[in-house]
Structure 1
Amino acid sequence: MSVHVDIGENRTVRLTDERIECRPPNRVAFAAEGVITVTRELLGEFEGASLKPVRVDISVDESRTVRTDLEKEASLRLETVDVGVETPNTDDLSPGMDTVSASSGDGTESTDASPGAIAFSVEGAIVDVPMETLDLITDGSPSLESVVFAVDDPVRTDGGSDDVVFSLGLLGHRITIYRNGAIDVGTGENGVDIDFL
């Protein structure tokens, strides 16, 4: 199973700022800020699984999209991840935030009356990008279009302290983000608790 997150069309993700810069010979640096709306039911769908980024699509103009395969030709590396959480009560949400549904690759939709809002800021790079791909991005006005995740068993690490970039407990689940962009969703404490690792 895979999850295709279309940044422009998915109402659960709202980018407020993004920067994409090509750094020859083989690197694309990026930074993004925005808000994600999540629900307990949505997190429950992925409990015990790992969402591994396998493709990044970058728009270079209105008619061209450059796809970068993160499994064969390039890899993702996160440098910093900062997160702020708004409690999952509708009275606490920022103005304009809606209770919305999210869809996964198999077409299943889920909703919950009490969403949680996660404001995020992330910086990183796509490395080992083929030169022909880098040239296409350099020639346009790049913006992030979508990210595709494969849903696998949880990531197993060697216990190195720099493998985990961020971990938090939200809506009864533990969310762990790794430096390679993988996201594990497991059982966690009730309420909100944020750990910077």
Structure 2
Amino acid sequence: MKCESIAVLFVINILILPVHADEDIEVNPMFGDKSNQLAIHGGESFRSDGFEKLHFGAISYSQPDTFFRLPARNNIEVGAYKGDGALGKFDVNFFGFSKDVALLSGTNSYLSLGLGAYIKDKKTDRISSKFTFGEKLAVGYRFDNGINVELFARHFSNGGLTEKNSGQNFAGLTLGYSF
């Protein structure tokens, strides 16, 4: 079994098999006392030389969970990145699963780290595989009315599964509603 196959199986196990802790966790800061969340995500791509006109958009459905006694959420996402002009060659649609874990949290605020696995509809010059991993760092706040706001940085790459893998980075904003 190749190292890449082992990495893929490891990520799938982390995403699919929830790690439930004791019920001593209080309210999940990403959800409050709610058990479902819908969110829209939007952002811009950035490279080492600054931002570029490659836009990111996604919709996600999430449910609360725990991960080693930390508040977490499981996500199903569908989205795309679309470029202006010459960047249109990087246009991609994707679908995937991810888990976000609140590493630091207060009653309504949190700093989360996420990991996901995604399938894209095509290969590009930056990521020459249809299978992609995604990492996310976000700082968020949940208002008492169930509205969440997050600032995020995301990175998509195939983890070295192919030779072309310069990755894709995005920074942006998420608006969510917990119900």
Judge same fold: TM > 0.5, yes or no: no
Higher relative contact order (CA 8 A, sep 6+): 1
State the TM-score, normalizing by the size of structure 2.
0.33
State the TM-score, normalizing by the size of structure 1.
0.31
* Higher-strand-fraction structure: 2
